């Protein structure tokens, strides 16, 4: 499976999270979320390649250092354009589109979801509240057709993608707000976010 992760420019990304950790620059927190997400993805069984889509040079350097391939964003395209572009570059193999704001992600949860996503259909995993999407997959040669954004779980279902029903709490825990970050802290954070938020670490990513 090839995994595509989009990361906005750090100054603009995750605006609802701004100020969530007192004394920590916003850009540092957002980068740490992406670093922990990529670290867990790279440690997950079934992942052959990780492609980050970002225009931010600091994101590019940090994620490339972890082992991701990094390509620039689609000018003016937005989140779904970034996912579609990245998926197109990996279309020779099954593709997974993953939010880059999953700092509690454990490789075991992602690996289990990717195993269930095998087969001829597109699949998705809803976020913890059930309205958003954290993961969308497509078989090799099938258009990803991402519909991320408000109400994306219903939109992905309407588009024909099949919901995956596993528990996977660390996969479903995306972080958009300070309350989401608190919930992720309770699961245990990856090392980058744990350092930034001075919180406990999660399952081992290696």
Ligand X SMILES: Nc1nc2c(ncn2[C@@H]2O[C@H](COP(=O)(O)OP(=O)(O)OP(=O)(O)O)[C@@H](O)[C@H]2O)c(=O)[nH]1
**Residue ranges at the known binding site for phosphoenolpyruvate:** 133, 149, 152
CA-nearest of 120, 124, 136, 128 to 163 is 124
133 within 8 A of 127, measured Cβ to Cβ: yes
**Least distance in Å: CB of 119 to ligand X?**
26
Q: Does 133 bind ligand PEP (CB under 6 A)?
A: yes
H/E element holding 20?
none
Asked whether the beta carbons of 54 and 72 are under 8 A apart, the reply is yes
SS3 184: helix
Nearer to ligand X, 15 or 198 (CB): 15
Helix residue ranges, H only, 4-101: 26-42, 57-66, 79-89
Q: Which is nearer to ligand PEP, 145 or 176 (CB)?
A: 176
Question: Under the criterion CB under 6 A, does residue 82 sit at the interface with ligand X?
Answer: yes
Binding residue for ligand PEP, selected from 4, 30, 127, 197, defined by CB under 6 A:
127
Q: Rule CB under 6 A: say whether 176 interacts with ligand PEP.
A: yes
Q: Residue 174 interacts with ligand PEP (CB under 6 A)?
A: yes
Other Cβ atoms less than 10 A from the Cβ of 186: the count is 13
- 78, 119, 141, 149: which one binds ligand PEP (CB under 6 A): 149
In the window 128-167, what residues touch ligand X (CB under 6 A)? none
Those residues with Cβ within 8 angstroms of residue 173's Cβ, 6 or more apart along the chain or in another chain? 102, 104, 105, 127, 128, 180, 183, 184, 187
Q: Write out the binding residues for ligand PEP, residues 48-107 only, by CB under 6 A.
A: 99
Q: Is 152 in the site for ligand PEP (CB under 6 A)?
A: yes
Residues placed in the known binding site: 133, 149, 152
Pairing status of strand 2-6 against strand 95-98: parallel
Using CB under 6 A as the binding rule, whether residue 11 contacts ligand X is answered as no
Contact 41, 105 (CB under 8 A): yes
From 98-106, 116-124, 137-145, 159-167, give the range in contact with ligand X by CB under 6 A.
98-106
> Taking the complex as a whole, how short is the minimal distance between the CB of residue 14 and ligand PEP, in angstroms?
9
Residues that bind ligand X (CB under 6 A): 6-8, 13-16, 53-54, 73, 78-79, 82, 99-101, 176
């Amino acid at each position: 499976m090839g995994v595509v992760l989009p990361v906005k420019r750090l100054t603009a990304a995750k605006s609802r999270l701004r100020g969530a950790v007192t004394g920590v620059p916003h850009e540092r927190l957002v980068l740490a979320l992406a670093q922990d997400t990529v670290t867990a993805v790279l440690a997950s069984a079934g992942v052959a390649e990780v492609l980050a889509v970002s225009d931010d040079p600091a994101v590019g350097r940090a994620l490339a250092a972890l082992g991701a391939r990094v390509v620039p964003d689609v000018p003016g395209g937005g989140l779904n354009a970034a996912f579609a572009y990245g998926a197109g570059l990996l279309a020779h193999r099954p593709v997974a589109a993953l939010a880059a704001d999953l700092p509690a992600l454990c490789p075991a949860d992602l690996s289990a979801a990717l195993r269930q996503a095998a087969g001829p259909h597109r699949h998705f995993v809803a976020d913890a509240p059930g309205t958003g999407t954290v993961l969308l997959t497509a078989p090799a040669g099938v258009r990803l057709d991402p519909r991320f954004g408000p109400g994306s779980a219903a939109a992905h279902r309407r588009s024909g993608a099949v919901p995956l029903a596993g528990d996977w709490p660390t996969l479903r825990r995306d972080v958009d707000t300070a309350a989401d970050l608190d919930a992720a802290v309770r699961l245990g954070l990856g090392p980058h976010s744990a350092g930034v938020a001075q919180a406990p670490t999660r399952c081992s990513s290696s």
